[in-house]
C-alpha cells in the first residue's frame, strides 16, 4: 500500500503492508464553490451579531487579529473581503496584529505570503511581541488565577476583530476563536500560566475537549474580559481550500465551526495500534520541531503503551529560534527526568509546555523522527531517534511487535485526530 505523507511543501511516498495498515485521513470536504461569496455572506449575515459593516464607524479605530506563519490560515483570501466591508474606516485607523503568541516575529516576506503585498503595503501590520512589557496592558485575572496581559494595540482599539482557522488542538481543544486573543496576543506571563505544568497535565487538556478543559475555559474568560466585537472562523481541507466559514459573536461562531471540524477531523477507534505513523501536516505546520510535537501527540492518542510512533516532519527551520525550548530539552538525559524537572514547583520557563507534552508522549511510546531540516545529533539531543527511511523503520517496528501487530497511518498528521472509545 503506497501512501503519500504530508512533508514540507510536498509529499513523501511510503509503502506500507496493506494487510496490517489502517490509513486515517480527514473526511474530504470539497472547498466552497465560491469562497469570496461565502465569506462576504458570513460577514453580512453573521451569527448573533450585527453585520461587520455596522460594527465600526469612520471615527473608530479597528484592530484585527490574524494567525502567524505557522498556521495555514487563508488570510490572503479572507482579509481583502473583510477590509472591503470596513472601507468606510480610514486605512490609518486599522491595525492588523499578527497573533504570534510567543513565536518569533514574521518576516516581511512571510507577511506578504500570508496577507498579500497590497495589504502589507497599505495597512499597519504589527507582529505581537509577548516579551515586550511596554507593549502590554494588564487587565486583572481570570480563573484559575491567570494574569491577563494583552497587546496594547488590541486593548486600546475601539473595535476588536478575530480571524481564525479551526482545527483540533492538542491541549486547548480547538484552535481559532478566542485563541486569537490569548495566547495569540497575550504577554508571556499570561501564556506561561495557560501552559504551565498543572494546566498541561490536566486530563481534559486534550484534543477536541472544550468543556471542563481548564486551558480552553481560561482562554474564553480572557476573550470575554477584554471583549471581542466580531469574529470570523474558517475550516479548511487538506488542499488548504475553505470548506466552511462562520462569522459573528466569537463564542457562537467558534462553537459552530468546531462542531463541524470535530465531525470531519476526529475518528474513534475501539483498540490501540502497535505502531502509528504520523506527520505534522506539511508546511507551514512542520517547519520546526517545536510545532511537530503536535503530530506526535495525534499519534499518541491511539498508540499502545510501549508502542512506537514514527513521525515525518521536515523541520525546515530546524529548532525554533524563539524561547528556551532547546535549552530545556538538554537539561536532563531522559524524557522521564525532563518531566520530573518541569513538574517541580516553581519551574516556569518559556516553551516548557512543548517539552512536557513530548515527554508525556515518550512515557507511552518510542518516537522515531525523519526531519531533513535537523541533523541526527539535533534529533538525538531532543531525546528522539533519527531515521532516514520511514517505510523501513515502520517495518522493523512491526516485526518487533510480532505477526499480529497493527499499524495506523496519519498522512495529514493532526488534521485528523484519532481517539479511543472510553
Percent of the chain with pLDDT over 70: 99
Average pLDDT on 66-71 reads 91
Whether the predicted pLDDT of 238 surpasses 80: no
Residue 324: pLDDT band (50, 70, 90) is confident
pLDDT value of residue 321: 66
Residue 27: pLDDT band (50, 70, 90) is confident
Distance of CA 154 to the CA centre of its chain: 21
pLDDT value of residue 323: 66
220: closest CA among 160, 212, 329?
A: 212
Percent of the chain with pLDDT over 90: 88
Average pLDDT on 170-175 reads 94
The DSSP bridge pattern shows strands 10-15 and 136-142 to be unpaired
Whether the predicted pLDDT of 39 surpasses 80: yes
Whether the predicted pLDDT of 319 surpasses 90: no
Judge contact between 170 and 206, C-beta under 8 A: yes
d(CA 80, CA 29): 24
The three-state (H, E, C) secondary structure of the chain, written as one string: CEEEEEECCEEEEEECCHHHEEECCCCCCCCCCCHHHHHHHHHHCCECCCCHHHCCCCCCCEEEEEECCCCCCCHHHHHHHHHHHCCCCCHHHEEEEEECCCCCCCCHHHHHHHHCHHHHHHCEEEECCCCCHHHEEEEEEECCCEEEEEEHHHHHCCEEEEEEECCEECCCEECCHHHHCCCCCECHHHHHHHCCHHHHHCCCCCCCCCCCCHHHHHHHHHHHHHCCCEEEEEEECCCCCEEEEEEECHHHHHHHHHHHHHHHHEEEECCCEEEEEEECCCCCCCCCHHHHHHHHHHHHCCEEEEEEEEEECCCCCCCCCCCCHHHHHCCCCCHHHHHHHHCCCCCCCCCHHHHHHHHHHHCCEEEEEECCCCCHHHHHHCCCEECCCHHHHHHHHHHHHCCCCCEEEECCHHHCEEEECC
pLDDT value of residue 183: 97
pLDDT value of residue 287: 93
Judge contact between 228 and 161, C-beta under 8 A: yes
Whether the predicted pLDDT of 159 surpasses 90: yes
pLDDT value of residue 366: 98
| Domains of the chain, each with CATH number or no CATH | 2-27+270-420 (3.90.226.30), 35-264 (3.40.50.11440)
Digit-coded pLDDT (tens) for 206-223: 999 999 999 999 999 999
Amino acid at each position: 500500500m503506497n501512501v503519500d505523507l504530508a512533508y514540507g511543501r510536498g509529499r513523501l511516498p511510503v509503502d506500507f503492508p496493506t494487510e496490517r495498515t489502517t490509513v486515517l485521513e480527514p473526511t474530504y470536504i470539497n472547498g466552497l464553490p465560491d469562497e469570496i461569496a461565502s465569506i462576504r455572506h458570513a460577514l453580512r449575515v453573521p451569527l448573533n451579531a450585527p453585520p461587520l459593516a455596522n460594527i465600526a464607524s469612520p471615527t473608530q479605530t479597528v484592530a484585527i487579529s490574524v494567525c502567524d506563519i505557522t498556521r495555514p490560515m487563508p488570510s490572503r483570501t479572507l482579509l481583502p473581503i473583510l477590509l472591503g466591508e470596513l472601507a468606510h474606516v480610514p486605512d490609518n485607523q486599522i491595525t492588523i496584529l499578527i497573533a504570534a503568541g510567543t513565536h518569533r516575529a514574521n518576516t516581511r516576506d512571510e507577511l506578504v505570503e500570508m496577507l498579500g503585498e497590497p495589504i502589507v503595503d497599505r495597512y499597519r501590520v504589527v507582529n505581537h511581541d509577548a516579551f515586550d512589557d511596554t507593549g502590554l496592558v494588564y487587565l486583572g485575572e481570570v480563573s484559575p488565577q491567570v494574569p491577563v496581559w494583552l497587546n496594547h494595540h488590541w486593548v486600546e482599539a475601539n473595535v476588536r476583530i478575530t480571524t481564525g482557522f479551526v482545527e483540533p488542538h492538542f491541549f486547548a481543544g480547538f484552535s481559532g476563536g478566542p485563541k486569537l486573543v490569548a495566547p495569540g496576543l497575550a504577554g508571556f506571563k499570561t501564556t506561561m500560566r495557560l501552559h504551565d505544568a498543572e494546566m498541561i497535565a490536566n486530563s481534559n487538556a486534550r484534543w477536541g475537549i472544550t468543556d471542563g478543559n481548564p486551558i480552553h475555559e481560561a482562554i474564553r474568560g480572557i476573550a470575554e474580559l477584554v471583549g471581542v466585537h466580531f469574529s470570523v472562523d474558517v475550516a479548511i481541507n487538506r488542499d488548504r481550500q475553505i470548506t466552511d466559514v462562520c462569522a459573528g459573536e466569537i463564542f457562537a461562531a467558534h462553537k459552530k465551526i468546531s462542531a463541524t471540524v470535530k465531525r470531519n477531523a476526529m475518528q474513534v477507534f475501539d483498540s490501540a495500534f502497535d505502531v502509528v505513523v504520523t506527520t505534522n501536516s506539511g508546511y507551514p505546520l512542520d517547519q520546526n520541531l517545536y510545532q511537530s510535537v503536535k503530530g506526535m501527540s495525534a499519534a499518541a492518542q491511539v498508540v499502545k503503551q510501549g508502542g512506537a510512533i514514527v513521525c515525518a516532519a521536515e523541520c525546515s527551520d530546524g529548532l525554533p529560534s524563539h524561547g528556551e525550548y532547546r535549552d530545556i530539552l538538554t537539561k536532563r538525559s531522559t524524557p522521564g527526568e525532563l518531566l520530573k524537572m518541569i513538574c517541580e514547583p516553581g519551574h516556569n520557563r518559556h516553551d516548557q509546555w512543548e517539552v512536557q507534552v513530548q515527554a508525556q508522549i515518550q512515557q507511552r511510546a518510542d518516537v522515531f523522527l525523519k526531519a531533513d531540516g535537523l541533523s541526527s545529533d539535533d534529533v538525538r539531543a531532543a531525546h528522539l531517534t533519527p531515521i532516514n527511511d520511514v517505510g523501513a523503520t515502520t517495518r522493523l517496528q512491526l516485526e518487533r511487535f510480532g505477526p499480529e501487530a497493527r499499524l495506523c497511518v496519519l498522512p495529514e498528521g493532526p488534521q485528523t485526530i484519532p481517539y479511543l472509545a472510553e
